Amino acid sequence: MSNVRLFEMDFDGRKLIVETGEVAKQAAGAAIIRYNDTAVLSVCAVGKKPSTMNFFPLMVIYQEKMYAAGKIPGGFLKREGRPSDNETLTSRLIDRPIRPLFPKGFKYDLQIINQVMSANTDYSPQMTAMFGSSLALGLSDMPFNGPIAGVIVGRVDGKLVVNPTQAQLEVSDIDLSIAGTKDAINMVESSANEVNEEEMLQAIMFGHSWVKKLVTFQEEIISAVGKETGEYEYKVVSEEVVEHVTSLIGADMVKAVSIEEKQERGEAIEAVTSKVIAQYEEENHGMDKEDLRALLGDVRTVCNDIVQAEMRRLISEDKVRPDGRKLHELRDLESKIDMFERTHGSAMFTRGQTQALALTTLGSLSEHKKVDGMDDLEKKTFMLHYNFPAYSVGETGRYMSAGRREIGHGMLGERALSKVMPDQETFPYTVRIVSEILESNGSSSQATICAGSMSLMAAGVPIKAPVAGIAMGLIKEGDFYSILTDIQGMEDHYGDMDFKVAGTAEGITALQMDIKISGLSEDIMREALEQARIARLEILDNMNSVIAKARPEVSEHAPKVKLLTIKPDKIRDVIGPGGKMITQIIEKCGDVKIDIEQDGRVTIMHTNYQDIAKAVKMIEDIIREAKKGEVYAGKVVRVEKFGCFVELWKGTDGLCHISKLAHERVAKVEDVCNIGDIINVKVIGIDDRGRIDLSRKDTLPRPPRKEFKPKKETTDKKPE
């Protein structure tokens, strides 16, 4: 017997349909969500026992199967491989608003799987998956304090649009992803074309108004077919352990937290923690190993909680931050450029104990990144890659390919800087920035944006304006809150918010917000945005003191570029049979790099301007066309009885008939010209086969006309 249930909602003129009860019935919760012709299967599964890990082991997976768009995957294997950047970023996007809504102590392995079954990118598969993730949890017996939902907000011609189509996004000056509960916003991700703070806030609140409708729809479904919350164990430290550990090291830990220098503070905190753990080990040496491991984990948790409570108390009550700064105060700033000679552009930005080194490389347009996804093949000519080595925080670790964190931070920086990048016509390069984090104590992604902006200008990339980034924090206790400018690692870890804002002096280019509480009010966000704007301007002043605008020319070590546009039907002439002609050009011009697009755009690249100019001349000669009425100085290359052949330029010649060599009658061609002579000729005709008819006579002054003398009249008369 079928238990299928269908629920339908009109969402701004588009159908949102939920199907439950038919698929994945052994999972904890499952549903198919159809958003017009986009469909996503969302499933959640939970482990049988609590994890022994000291964090909530939640995994969110978003998968774009190529069949959803009617495509076969590329590559040799012809099947989906490692997650794409878009899949990874979407998984993070869904994880961030869901994770804070589970109760403290819930440590069960939890997986949320979203498979895109049918894809129309005009009806966002990403937001459909976020809706499905929340609903799957709501239908299960998980202790989830949701539901949540998300939407995309655009602004087209000054009007805010919910879940815009791809065509609308291309002309939108805001691309905002927002998620939250019915009561508050708890995740924001955005890029924008230098939009001011008030306009951005309006877009956020507009998005939240639609989030509320989606949450209400979920609540109706959960009320109808959802399960009651199940019985789960919560790993909470006993009051006895809390009180005992606090009595042993509480005062020492408070003192350690007050140390301003990061490493010294960390060492002091670890020394206090190690001391009490050693004491517990000694007092409980006869305990079962598993039980002792769990007890020591609880002791470390209590130590961590003491650090958190003291840090929050210092900020909330004493208005003192761990490093001694005031709430609005930035750490010391330092900006540098031209760190290395052979790189095309380099810059280093240091904010306190966070240091980012950004290196820019310029390449040809053919070196773009190909992104094979569910929609059309995308070509990216601007990339920012972020690396976070373990040594940046004084640790050792595994060195592998980029993980979710590196991909997410890199994309945030890329979004922030992409809004000031020149178009391809202005600057025909593929541009790659690599950010190497050399030292980190919070907000390394925003330091990346600052260093990346300076690196671009040092490389001669004509960006619209410098971009700086700042991370804001929040400590909220009841109705009282403190907003922190330029948060460091401890404030991020123990605080309630990580609110990153990047932009120019004119407005915001990127935004990212994650919170650990249920949500934020409009007033808190407005205050945080304004505080971030003030800090951003201060950072820009520091950057501008080193470099305020792009250099007029690219580095001597960077490739130079010349753009040509030729007729598409001339492309084969430039390439030649079997690529012979273009190979000759490359070899004769110092191995220049030549890219030819199907529309006739030709990009010539080399570090030497002279070689570029030589290649341009050769291509222009190949594509050059004779024009009727034009006069050319040509070289006689062949002589026949009926005339001579004249080379106008290499590869192009025409026939000058013997009758067109001079105004007077010419008996022999050699009487006028011989092979190798340079003569002026005029194009007097071009037939349908491209054969050129030339005239030397038409370039010569006409000879003076002979004076006409009439014949004398005869006077002879016939006799009468």
Q: Please tell me whether residue 585 adopts helix, strand or coil conformation.
A: helix
476 in Cβ contact with 517 (< 8 Å): yes
Check whether 713 has a pLDDT greater than 60.
no
| Contact by Cβ (8 Å): 666, 644 | no
CA atoms within 13 A on the CB side of 467: 35
What does the pLDDT read at residue 696?
95
Average pLDDT, integer, range 456-460: 96
pLDDT of residue 719: 47
User: Residue type for 543, please?
Assistant: M
At 232, is the pLDDT very low, low, confident or very high (cuts 50, 70, 90)? very high
Helix axis angle, 85-98 to 125-139, nearest 10° = 40
pLDDT tens-digit readout, 103-128: 988 999 999 999 999 999 899 999 99
Residue 234: band (very low, low, confident or very high) from pLDDT cuts 50, 70, 90: confident
Q: Which pLDDT belongs to residue 599?
A: 87
Strands 652-657 and 643-649: antiparallel
pLDDT at res. 372:
62
Say what the pLDDT of residue 368 is.
75
All domains of the chain, ordered by start, with CATH? Answer: 5-225 (3.30.230.70), 239-318 (1.10.10.400), 333-395+403-544 (3.30.230.70), 560-623 (3.30.1370.10), 631-699 (2.40.50.140)
Separation CA 697–CA 711 (nearest Å): 31
Is 50 exceeded by the pLDDT of residue 212?
yes
Identify which has the larger pLDDT, 480 or 333.
Answer: 333
Across 85-99, 449-463, 595-609, least confident range = 595-609
What's the pLDDT tens digit per position in 176-185? 999 999 998 9
Task: Return mean pLDDT, the chain.
Answer: 90
SS3 711: coil
Cβ atoms of 556 and 362 within 8 Å: the answer is: no
Q: Tell me what pLDDT residue 710 has.
A: 63
Task: Tell me the average pLDDT across 436-458.
Answer: 95
pLDDT band at 1 (very low <50, low <70, confident <90, very high): very low
pLDDT at 636: 95
> For position 702, what pLDDT does the model report?
86
pLDDT > 80? residue 362:
yes
pLDDT for the residue 190: 94
For 53-85, give the DSSP string: SSS--EEEEEEE-GGGGT----TTT-S--SPPH
Considering only CA atoms, which of 472, 490, 414 is closest in space to residue 448? 414
Distance, in Å, from the CA atom of 350 to the CA atom of 84, rounded to the nearest integer, reads: 31
Whether the Cβ atoms of residue 473 and residue 498 lie closer than 8 Å to each other: yes
Lowest mean pLDDT among 378-382, 432-436, 492-496: 378-382
Sequence-ordered alpha helix ranges (H) in 545-608: 571-575, 580-588
pLDDT at 720 over 60: no
Mean pLDDT of 192-200: 95
Residues 144-163, mean pLDDT to the nearest whole number: 95
What average pLDDT does the segment 634-641 reach? 94
Structure-derived torsion over alpha carbons of residues 601, 606, 607, 609, reported in degrees to the nearest 10: -70
Residue 422's pLDDT is 95
Tens-place pLDDT, residues 499-548: 999 999 999 999 999 888 877 788 899 999 999 999 999 999 999 999 99
pLDDT value at 441 more than 70? yes
Q: Would you state the pLDDT for residue 405?
A: 87
